[in-house]
Chains A and B, each alone.
Chain A
Amino acid sequence: MASEAKLPVRTPEESVSALSAMKAVFSRDLKTAFRQPQDLLNPLLFFVMVVTLFPLGVSPEVAFLREAGSGILWVAALLSVLLSLDHLYRHDFNDGTLEQLVLQPQPLFLLVLAKSLAHWVLTGLPLVMLAPVLGVMVHLEGNSVAILCLTLLIGTPVLSLIGSIGAALTLGLRSAGVLLSLLIIPLYIPVLIFGTGTVMAASESASVGGQLALMGAFLVLALTLAPFASAAALRISLSNS
């Protein structure tokens, strides 16, 4: 029999705001990442290695490197983000924190957005900060280096946001690596084309405003749509686990 006692049902005012819940998710991801620095260094090391191996493997000539440099850096950055994607939800999935995240009363897409931003701060941002050094190494001119960093700054968050959809979709699979790459790389191609194209145009001293604006549009599109897709994908993956 039901007893007479009854606990009050909680009203929205008593709940935590979406913003502070996002902050909590963001800071937890940063904290766990800094306690396991080797996971952080992996994509960075990969980035540096690919870029340094190119002059050794293909040609150390200034003319070639100046021509191909922006492409090399962009491809290396793209692949190293791809390399780190599987970790985005995998650990949370295995230890059960993802279940608790999905069951938080705040809108899931906002929490997913916080996770994607944390992923960018941990992988994309360090790449952007390393890029000037590597840009000089491949003999890019000052102006091109600046534009390269700007395109990476706009482009790498797009990579994290789109990648989050793929990572969420492949969560239930035991070996997600290949499928994740196949799913995500086609979506990365426009970012890559416009990223390198902008730097090329800058090196020929053409105007880059239009291309940068398009990259900005990619970012806005990814910021507004990718979290919804990732949230839906997470729900599906958890439903089938």
Chain B
Amino acid sequence: MSEPLLQAVNLQCERDDRILFRDLSVSILPGTLTRVEGPNGSGKTTLLRILAGLNDSYSGDLLWRGRPRHAYREEFLRNMLYLGHRPGIKPLLTPMENLRTLMAGRRYVTDKVLWQALEGTGLGGFQNVPSRNLSAGQQRRVALARLLVADEPLWILDEIFTAIDIHGVAALERLLVERVASGGAIVVTTHHDFNLPSMHRVTLGGRHDHGL
């Protein structure tokens, strides 16, 4: 068994006087996919934001490769890719410019590679169209293009299947499976039916009062 990349120990989070989760311990190992499950409002996004380092209002410990994460924040950030609800795409910039600036803070990548990544997400021919002229799904695809060039060992992906068409979903599933096989660690939330034989599950929220 290899050492976990990220470990949460006795995590507790309270939001608006409501305890979202308590005594939650998760280990994220290389070569695994962890799916965070639970009904709407059960704190899936909050948990992912805590794991990604965007939300600091929790108690408990977070360990990055066995050491306290806050002390190794730079190393953690260098090795973690987070995609949230908001795609991180500037509507005024073209997909190419967006991808270029997003990668500029992380790794040197040539324009040719970025161009191909956009083609790989089905945006061939749209590379230089302002992103606000693209559909919601296409904008998400710009953000997803990062996954094709990312080399971070840990991916934290929040609702990545949203607004993606059926072929895109299949391609994305394949990408995640390949990634896990090559040793990447992935944490996802999704309402989309997504199953891997070796998937780890973290279930949040005991209440299952199905209103709809």
Residues of A within 8 A of B92 (CB): 31-32, 35-36
Is the CB of B95 closer than 8 A to any CB of chain A? no
CB distance from A233 to the nearest CB of B (A): 13
Q: B88 near A2 (CB under 8 angstroms)?
A: no
Is the CB of B188 closer than 8 A to any CB of chain A? no
Q: A103 near B89 (CB under 8 angstroms)?
A: no
Q: A9 near B108 (CB under 8 angstroms)?
A: no
Residues of B within 8 A of A111 (CB): 105
Question: Given A2-B30, A5-B182, are A95 and B84 neighbors across the interface (CB < 8 Å)?
Answer: no
Task: Apart from A4-B2, A96-B89, list 16 A-B contacts with CB within 8 A.
Answer: A2-B30, A6-B30, A6-B153, A12-B78, A16-B106, A24-B104, A28-B93, A28-B101, A31-B93, A35-B93, A96-B86, A99-B88, A103-B54, A105-B106, A111-B105, A238-B55
Question: Given A100-B102, A239-B55, are A105 and B74 neighbors across the interface (CB < 8 Å)?
Answer: yes
Q: B2 near A238 (CB under 8 angstroms)?
A: no
Q: Which of A6-21 contact B (CB under 8 A)?
A: 6-10, 12, 14-16, 20-21
Q: A104 near B77 (CB under 8 angstroms)?
A: yes
- Summed over the interface, the residue pairs from A and B with CB atoms below 8 Å come to a total of 132
Q: Which of A50-107 contact B (CB under 8 A)?
A: 91, 94-97, 99-107
Question: Given A16-B107, A24-B104, A100-B88, are A10 and B79 neighbors across the interface (CB < 8 Å)?
Answer: yes
Is the CB of A38 closer than 8 A to any CB of chain B? no
Residues of A within 8 A of B182 (CB): 5, 7
Q: A105 near B104 (CB under 8 angstroms)?
A: no
Main secondary structure of the interface of B (DSSP, over half): loop
CB distance from A74 to the nearest CB of B (A): 32
Is the CB of B82 closer than 8 A to any CB of chain A? yes
Q: Which of A82-140 contact B (CB under 8 A)?
A: 91, 94-97, 99-107, 111
Q: B90 near A103 (CB under 8 angstroms)?
A: no
Mark interface residues in B60-91 (1 if CB within 8 Å of A CB, else 0): 00000100000000110111101011111111
Main secondary structure of the interface of A (DSSP, over half): helix
User: Chain B, interface size: which category?
Assistant: 35 or more
Residues of B within 8 A of A175 (CB): none
List the interface of chain A (C-beta within 8 A of B): 1-10, 12, 14-16, 20-21, 23-25, 27-28, 31-32, 35-36, 91, 94-97, 99-107, 111, 235, 238-240
Q: A8 near B86 (CB under 8 angstroms)?
A: no
Residues of A within 8 A of B77 (CB): 103-105
CA distance A31 to B96 in the complex (A): 13
Residues of B within 8 A of A102 (CB): 54
Is the CB of B117 closer than 8 A to any CB of chain A? no
CA distance A32 to B97 in the complex (A): 10
CB distance from A137 to the nearest CB of B (A): 34
Q: A97 near B153 (CB under 8 angstroms)?
A: no
CA distance A107 to B93 in the complex (A): 25
Residues of A within 8 A of B209 (CB): none
CB distance from B62 to the nearest CB of A (A): 14
Q: A16 near B30 (CB under 8 angstroms)?
A: no
CA distance A48 to B86 in the complex (A): 37
Residue in A closest to B32 when the chains form the complex, CB atoms: A2
CB distance from B54 to the nearest CB of A (A): 5
